[in-house]
Amino acid sequence: MRAPVLAWGVWMLLGSLRSSAYASLFAGLDLGIHELGHIIFAPFGRFVGVLGGSLAQVMAPLASVAVFLRQRDYFGISFCFLWLGASLHELARYVGDARAQELPLVSPFGGEPIHDWHYLLATVGALRLDTALAALLRLGAVGSIATFLVAGGWLLVQMRAASQTQPS
């Protein structure tokens, strides 16, 4: 049952490499977590509240590692790296759009939404670094998805070998 998930990871890696606009099945989930992050981090001030969306989007897959570790589901842990890669890829697209501000924005709060990364990078005087930061995030995304493929593939080989050595 896990082999199709591994194949999906290959599909996601290829999509991520082909286009910075690639959106995986994780995109909707990540958007919801991103918006929730703004609410969770809002009490820590405007800057952290704005950053909180992206923090939550990246922290959710990492926090999921703890859940799978507790269950000793090592394939589940590797899957978290697939999710993290998708999240980083989506975040790279958002960061890379900071100067252009061409992406459509959403806000659960009503009113005119702000572009998080335009605000964040402009506030710290680093707006000109948007595309460089996006490139680093894309590199991290590819590395994370590749980690899933290598670890997940190795685990599938180990599971298959273990199932063939067990008496029927």
Average pLDDT by stretches of 10, the chain with 168 residues: 90 91 91 96 97 98 96 95 97 97 85 93 98 97 96 93 78
Question: Cβ distance 15 to 86 under 8 Å?
Answer: no
pTM comes to 0.92
Report the alpha-carbon distance of residue 136 to residue 139 in Å, rounded: 5
The token pair that represents 8 in the structure block: 């999906």
Could you give the residue ranges of the DSSP H alpha helices within the chain? Answer: 3-18, 27-41, 46-70, 74-96, 116-123, 130-165
